[in-house]
Amino acid sequence: MKKKKVNLRDLKPNSEEQHSHDDGHDHGDGSAFKTYIPAIISFVMLIIGIAVDYFDAIPQFEGWIRVVWYTLAYIPVGFPVIKEGWESIKKGDFFTEFFLMSIATIGAFVIGEYPEGVAVMLFYAVGELFQNAAVNRAKGNIKALLDVRPNEALVYRDGDYISVNPETVEIGEKVQVRVGEKVPLDGILLSNKGSFNTAALTGESKPDTIQRNEKVFAGSINLDGVIEIETTKEFKDSSIARILDMVQNATARKSKTELFIRKFARIYTPIVVFLAIGVTFLPYFFVEDYVFRDWLYRALIFLVISCPCALVISIPLGYFGGLGAASKNGILFKGASFLDAMTKINTLVMDKTGTVTKGVFKIKEVVNNSTFTNEEFMRYLMAIEEQSTHPIAKAILEYKAEGSDLEAKDVSEIAGKGLSGVVNGKTILVGNKALMTANTIKVPTDTETIVESIVLVAIENNFAGYVVIADELKDDAKETITALNKVGIKNIMMLSGDKDSITQKVASELNIENAKGGLLPEDKLSEVEALKQNPKNKVAFIGDGINDAPVLAASDVGIAMGGLGSDVAIETADVIIQTDQPSKVVRAIKIGRSTRKIVWQNIGLAFGVKAIVLILGAGGLATMWEAVFADVGVAFLAILNAVRLQKMNWS
């Protein structure tokens, strides 16, 4: 899947989304205050002008002096809006909120309603300032990722460590990371072990301990001692760079609601302009005591009320807030469309290994039928397994940290069966039942009832015992299934490439009724496509994002577990669970539902209030002050409602 690349340092929101004449960037304390100065000047001048008008404190405050005063009060907040409207007109886009606000306020000046003209534009400007503050707050969780963008890398070159830009470091170079510094690039740990803060990547504050030769990700903060890593990726391909790229591009993928509102606003605004013209002139033909100024005033009120700011601002802000809240919780959505899609899911299909299990094999049981002690039995077994790279061999070797003190010779692999070799002068066979049968070694029948992976051992052609190897359930696996049922996901299915007996056992432990094992990737794809044949099924698939890429792509929502270090997961899935916790899927559903609920609350609020005040305005029962509330007031309330997403708790 090809993605549009963006400058990671540029977090400026789309201008159409923001609908603001502000640049949208974060400012320092000084420049942030400067953005409020025009509104403060206009507000002070407006209050002084209204006070002088009301108390008649200065008799000379009339005529051209009054006009100049209110014009000067209008310019600081009105000029930027008029300029934006003019720029839009030059581009062929006449009917924008900038155009509506400019016409309405200039019209108010034409008919002598100077204070109201200034007030409308002032409150509009204040609403824009609140909007920008809300957008910056909603983006805070995503912008926080920039704080962990490494600025330098200590790379070993020409016999010494030198500080360079991480973008210049090549794959395979050795990098040193000191205590408190950020890991600059993805790599493999060369030191014995390291402790890292991965909160910016996973949302989890708990330190992560990494052992020698295990993966370390860019953006992690080294907590304990100086470490060395060998880089495995260039900076542009590092985890933090790809995550930033993905999250920042998420706003480009609009939800259907956003797309509808934007199209609606383009049709709705010109209709409103022509209706306002009608409100001004049509009464001339039907009303006996027609007064042009009165009907023009009503039309101007109509224009202010009808400005679609509340919709255009609050809906994208609501979705952006949802994306930010999800990011804070270690969940990355590739766009607002998937926030919506998560709310419609009614069928969940999941992989087993790495999704609900840890994907790490461990010895569950050692059964020794030989004359050797358990310690001696494991020494012989480990000596053979030290020659293997199989995951099960790794699990066996973890039995004793220092490994076996015996050396295996003449080790050979029998394809699909196991290993053979000589240890301490004795012939050792390690593998499955097929290996034992091929060497006419009788295996106890009780081994046939064991559903987990089993490693059989023969010493000198005599059955010596076996080791049971099992994958462990993740800590939150059981509660995830219960929580999914509570949020209405009743149809849950497990598909696994592991043997069916193991799959059924895990499914039984998790109370999943529908499970199938022994499946190839194409078999999983067929199962999901069969579910999608029913148009009522909205299917989400959760997998590790590597072997399950075809199914992730085919499902309505593809969710990658532990996709932090997986290129395939980042590229293929629609949602990335950074913490590798299946329970975060439930949280993703809840965040999607909360976001959608707030968006529709804002739509109902905006349409409801505007409809009422429009009718009152057309009938002459509403003034510019009610119009200001219907426009800026409703937009402000919608913004406050959207910001609530940042404070919600979905645990």
Which residue in 232, 238, 241, 215 sits closest to 171, CA to CA? Answer: 232
CB hemisphere CA count around 124 (13 angstroms): 33
Nearest to 639, CA basis, from 610, 608, 598: 598
Active-site annotation holds for 351: yes
- In terms of Cα–Cα distance, which of 535, 495, 538 is closest to 514? 495
Q: Residue 167 in 3-state DSSP? A: helix
Q: Which residues of 179-216 are buried (b: 16+ CB within 10 A; e: fewer)?
A: eebbbbbbbebbbeebbbbbbbbbbbeeebebeeeeeb
Cα(85)–Cα(341) distance, integer angstroms: 36
Q: Is 345 in contact with 597 (CB distance < 8 Å)?
A: no
Residues 604 and 315: their CA atoms lie apart, in Å, by 11
User: Residue 486: CB partners within 8 Å, gap ≥ 6?
Assistant: none
Q: Which among 186, 245, 340, 351 is annotated as catalytic?
A: 351
Q: In what order do the strands lie in the sheet with 347-350?
A: 331-333, 575-577, 557-561, 539-543, 347-350, 491-495, 514-516
* Residue given tokens 């805070």 in the structure block: 140
Cβ proximity of 270 and 342 under 8 Å: no
Contact 132, 22 (CB under 8 A): yes
Q: Report the distance separating Cα 635 and Cα 326, nearest Å.
A: 24
According to DSSP, the residues that pair with 495 across neighbouring strands are 516
Quick one: which of 142, 220, 215, 209 has its CA closest to 180? Answer: 220
CB atoms within 10 A of CB 172: 9
Question: What is the 3-state secondary structure of 148-163?
Answer: HCCCCEEEEECCEEEE
Place of tokens 């020659």: 387
| Residues catalogued as catalytic | 351
